[in-house]
Amino acid sequence: MSQKPRRLLFLLALLLLSLSGFCLSLKLGPVQTSWGELFRSIFTGQGEFYDIILHLRLPRAVLAYLVGAALALAGAILQGYFRNPLADPFILGASSGASLGAVLSLQLGLAVNLAGLSAQSLLAFLTSLMLVGTVYLISERRPFQTGESLLLTGIAAGALASALTSFLLFRRADAYEQAVFWLLGSFSLAEWRQAWLLLAVVLTGLFPAQYLARDMNLLSLGEETARSLGSPVKTVRRIFLLLATLLASFSVSVAGIIGFVGLIVPHAVRLIIGPDHRRLFIYAALAGGLFLLLSDLVARTIYSPSELPVGVVTAAFGAPFFIYLLNRRRPG
């Protein structure tokens, strides 16, 4: 099958599966609802389960979809940025920084709510941005900044933030259970305000990424080649790094750390539609939303009425795929 029909078929499959995933997410849960009651609540705004469906299940499903889209888009950006299909949104320490901020908020007992974001989410977002910004500034001090220096600085900073997080948890054992559930990802506290904020963040990341997708294609050929073809390499790299950090940090701040979405989804999409970033960004966002929507559905129904952290489910799917990728790669 040629590339264009394959892309159209893949897009159709993503849209249909996403619609099915939303319907199942609205129907399934600790409280049993019929299909008739589901559609009655949606189309008439009435029914016994209207509040459950429209104010609990729907914002959760929308938030899960948007977080998946944000993480997959951030992963696609950083895989192109580092020219490495095994890069993920947390490679520069965004998750470690967010973890530190969230646990610090628990330690301080902060109780602030701003635009639907708790003190824990706000501090996680800010520390994540600060850590990645610090990583970039440190690596930029080198005479010749390279992707490797940025990557290694991010790994070191992330390790330091993780050590501080462990120290804080050790000092306050009573916060350990709450912190661990957040560190593994959850949508149990999803609200419409969070979903609207994240939608704005995803669009803020997607439109500039699409506009600069040609420059990302040129960067994949090497910086010297990109410069010779007229791409403002340094500016483009800074913008892409900022977009990926914004997407990853805000996603972690509202849902916790959810691994493997930004790693396996962009790579799988690339295998299906090709490496052209003009298509890869939007397809990766759609596929990431679908993947996390279905993962959250599994997480909250497999042990109903209890629920698993969604990060456990994504790891169960992502780890085997990651091992497959490692063994599939060949020298050169």
Encode pLDDT of 14-38 as tens digits. Answer: 999 999 999 999 888 777 777 777 7
Q: What is the pLDDT of residue 257?
A: 87
- Tokens 């609200």 belong to 191
Q: What is the pLDDT of residue 174?
A: 63
Would the pLDDT of 301 be above 90? no
- Write the pLDDT tens digit of every residue in 120-129: 778 888 888 8
In this structure, CATH architecture of domain 3-328: Orthogonal Bundle (1.10)
- Tokens 């997080």 belong to 165
Would the pLDDT of 300 be above 60? yes
Residue 148 and residue 279: Cα distance in Å, rounded?
Answer: 27
Question: pTM of the predicted model, to two decimals?
Answer: 0.90
- Tokens 């459950």 belong to 52
Residue 203 and residue 73: Cα distance in Å, rounded?
Answer: 11
Would the pLDDT of 325 be above 80? no
Written as six digits, the tokens of 295 are: 């993962």
Would the pLDDT of 295 be above 90? yes
221: Cα separation from own chain's centroid: 26
Q: Left, alpha or beta for 67 (phi > 0: left; psi -120 to 50: alpha)?
A: alpha
SS3 content of the chain, % helix, strand, coil (to 5): 75, 0, 25
Residue 215: how many other CB atoms lie within 10 Å: 22
Residue 293 and residue 70: Cα distance in Å, rounded?
Answer: 12
- Write the pLDDT tens digit of every residue in 71-125: 999 999 999 988 888 788 888 888 888 888 878 887 776 666 666 667 777 888 8
Residue 259 and residue 257: Cα distance in Å, rounded?
Answer: 6
Q: What is the pLDDT of residue 169?
A: 78
Domain limits of the chain?
3-328
Query: CA distances (Å), 163 to each of 167, 189, 190, 250, 253, in order?
Result: 6, 27, 29, 22, 19
Contact 158, 140 (CB under 8 A): no
Residue 219 and residue 216: Cα distance in Å, rounded?
Answer: 5
Residue 213 and residue 285: Cα distance in Å, rounded?
Answer: 14
Written as six digits, the tokens of 52 are: 């459950």
- Write the pLDDT tens digit of every residue in 212-267: 999 999 988 888 888 888 888 889 988 998 999 889 888 888 888 898 999 999 98
Residue 49: how many other CB atoms lie within 10 Å: 20
Contact 101, 127 (CB under 8 A): yes
Q: What is the pLDDT of residue 308?
A: 86
Q: How is residue 57 annotated by DSSP?
A: I
Q: What is the pLDDT of residue 331?
A: 47
